[in-house]
Amino acid sequence: MKAPSRNKRPGFSRRAQYGLFFSYVIAVTGILVGLGLVVIAHVDPTGFGVIRGGALDATAPISSAARGVVRGAGKVVDGIGAYFYAGSKNAEMARELDRDRAALVRARILALENERLRKMLKLVDDRGGSVAVARIVGSSGVSSRRYATLDAGRAQGVEPGQPVRSPEGLVGHVVDAGMIASRVLLITDSSSVVPVRLARGGAPALAAGRGDGSIEIRPLGAGGNPFNRGDIVLTSGTGGLYPPDVPVAVILSKDGDVAVAWPLANPAQLDYATVEQPFAGLPPPPEPTKTAKP
Amino acid sequence: MRAPASSAPPTRAIEIRAQVVPIVSTLLGSATALMPTVALSPTWPPLGLLMLLAWRLLRPEIWMAWIGLPLGLADDLLTGQTLGTGMVTWTACLLLADLVEGRLLWRDYWQEWLLAAIAIAFAMVAGWAIACWTGGATPIRLILPQIAISILCFPIIGRLCARLDRWRLAIGKIRAQD
């Protein structure tokens, strides 16, 4: 076997010895600078947004071009998989359709009634419009943070802080924006917290990402765990940023005080996502009451 | 710095190629993070780091320890990690390799793999710790499979580096067999 360090030992040459010494000085200084960058990221997470945005602009077209190929291949596999158990699946879907038809009729009646009541109350729906519709072209597979890349940037009006949703549900919010691409913090990232409420009953809760693709739902009310398997949680709009009534996740299991849920908008399957204006927050009540309930 | 092994004078193109190939291949390893897949959990091995370690262990003389700074910064920008993560962990890995190599009298395949495994595990746990500290506290069990995959990938990357090394130095064409 070869000797470990060929040509690395400088020998008796003073100049070569100094060269090696200075290379170590540079390396250690660089490590300290790197640690400084990490500290800055800890103190100010949006720092270096310009540099990160520029890098996104340079790299997003590569992911964007190859994304179609990957999706095509994925569709072929899914298409073959759909043929297995086709008969039993068909029967099950027919039963489900019968069940859902009744629910659909009830929902239509409710929608009509809702519209009528809204008109009576003269509620103004001052929801911010959508900023851009963009494709999700990639994600961070290496890092333990959960980011996705969108192929729309400042040129399309995308700014950091805007919420991102898809027809299926909430995706996340923009953290870095370049000129033609932007980075989205997914709701499954462990630093993401979304105020939600239960679709059935409206119990308030917080949806925090767990970093492994699932979401933890923590109820805000004391006493008991109000969630059941299969319940859907919606954004509540509390505190602004995320608009209300966007589906977030479906609950899979209860785990003590909290529930584990799976996001309804699976970023791996998404084609398009909509970037929206940040929700300004719920309007204040028209008449401030003296006995404000928490 | 590098003494040619044969008497045939290397051409200018090969000189440039010899300098550029390790850097470009490491950057390409980092760029695999641009793969158009959307991952729900960290699964993809950090190929940039694997390429860096493979080059470092194969050819200790081509790089000084500070090369981890620019390459690590490029990796941070390509993979979207917190800036500084790659700079710190990669340079620390190179310093670790220097430190260990000065004390070893001989080296074989298993030692090389063990050294790489320690460096990979260190770099990924440090990256995880930095990600936790800057806002995304994931449980460490999520990155354990990624560390295992990366360690198992290392011999393949080592082979790839060796092939690239033969091409880059034109060994067997204008130089003698090493």
Residue type, B144: L
Higher pLDDT, A122 or A158: A158
Burial pattern A102-141, b for ≥16 Cβ within 10 A else e, equals eeeeeeeeeeeeeeeeeeeeeeeeeeeeebbebbbbbbbb
Which among A1, A5, A148 is the nearest to B60, CB-wise?
A5
Mean pLDDT (whole number) for A29-44: 85
Task: Enter the pTM of the model.
Answer: 0.68
Three-state SS for A11-23 is CCCHHHHHHHHHH
* pLDDT higher than 50, residue A292: no
Residue B81's SS3 state is coil
- The interaxial angle of helices B68-79 and B47-58, nearest 10 deg, is 160
Q: What angle do CA B13, B18, B21 make, to 5 degrees?
A: 105
Lowest pLDDT segment from A87-91, A114-118, A287-291: A287-291
Mean pLDDT (whole number) for A229-249: 84
Tell me the C-alpha distance between A180 and A154, whole Å: 6
* pLDDT higher than 90, residue A4: no
Confidence at residue B117, expressed as pLDDT on a 0 to 100 scale: 94
B136/A268 Cβ within 8 A? no
What tokens were used for A128?
């911010």
Cβ distance A173 to A162 under 8 Å? Answer: yes
Higher pLDDT, A216 or A55: A216
Tell me the C-alpha distance between B131 and A144, whole Å: 7
What pLDDT digit, counting tens, does each position of A60-99 carry?
A: 777 777 666 666 666 666 677 777 778 888 888 889 998 8
Q: Does A270 touch chain B (CB under 8 A)?
A: yes
What tokens were used for A135?
């494709």
Mean pLDDT (whole number) for B130-159: 84
Shortest CA gap A22–chain B (Å): 10
Cβ-based neighbour number of residue A271 at 10 Å: 10
Q: B41: Cβ–Cβ under 8 A, 6 or more apart, which residues?
A: A211, A212, A213, B142
Lowest pLDDT segment from A140-144, A195-199, B68-72, B119-123: A140-144
**Residues β-bridged to residue A182:** A150, A177
Burial pattern A190-220, b for ≥16 Cβ within 10 A else e, equals bbbbbbbbbeeeebebbbbbbbbbbbbbebe
Lowest pLDDT segment from A76-90, A114-128, A259-273, B25-39: A114-128
What whole-number percentage of chain B has pLDDT above 70? 85
B45/A34 Cβ within 8 A? no
DSSP string, chain A: ---S-TTTS-TT-HHHHHHHHHHHHHHHHHHHHHHHHHHHHHH-TTTTHHHHHHHHHHHHHHHHHHHHHHHHHHHHHHHHHTTTTHHHHHHHHHHHHHHHHHHHHHHHHHHHHHHHHHHHHT-------EEEEEEEEEE-SSSSS-EEEES--GGGT--TT-EEE-SSSEEEEEEEE-SS-EEEEETTSTT-EEEEEETTT--EEEEEE-SSS-EEEEESSSSS----TT-EEEE--TTSBSPTT-EEEEEEEEETTEEEEEESS-TTT--EEEEEPPB--PPPPSS--SS---
Residue with tokens 């979401």: A215
Shortest CA gap B173–chain A (Å): 22
Shortest CA gap A145–chain B (Å): 6
Which among B37, B69, B72 is the nearest to A139, CB-wise?
B37
Confidence at residue A15, expressed as pLDDT on a 0 to 100 scale: 78
CB contacts of B52 in chain A (<8 Å) are none
Residue with tokens 């996001």: A263
Cα A6 from chain centroid (whole Å)? 49
Tell me the C-alpha distance between B72 and B49, whole Å: 8
Q: Read off the pLDDT band of B40 (50, 70, 90).
A: low
Cβ distance A236 to A281 under 8 Å? Answer: no
Confidence at residue A293, expressed as pLDDT on a 0 to 100 scale: 43
Q: What domains, with CATH codes, occur in chain A?
A: 130-276 (2.40.10.340)
Confidence at residue A236, expressed as pLDDT on a 0 to 100 scale: 85
Cβ distance B111 to B99 under 8 Å? Answer: no
Query: Can you give the C-alpha Rg of chain A in angstroms?
Result: 26
Q: Read off the pLDDT band of A166 (50, 70, 90).
A: confident
Confidence at residue B23, expressed as pLDDT on a 0 to 100 scale: 92
Q: Does A28 touch chain B (CB under 8 A)?
A: yes
Lowest pLDDT segment from A103-107, A152-156, B34-38, B97-101: B34-38
CA distances from A144 to A175, B44, B92, B137 (A): 16, 10, 20, 9
| Ramachandran class of B158: left when φ > 0, alpha when ψ lies in -120 to 50, beta otherwise | alpha
A142/B66 Cβ within 8 A? no
Shortest CA gap B118–chain A (Å): 17
What whole-number percentage of chain B has pLDDT above 90? 31
Confidence at residue A3, expressed as pLDDT on a 0 to 100 scale: 46
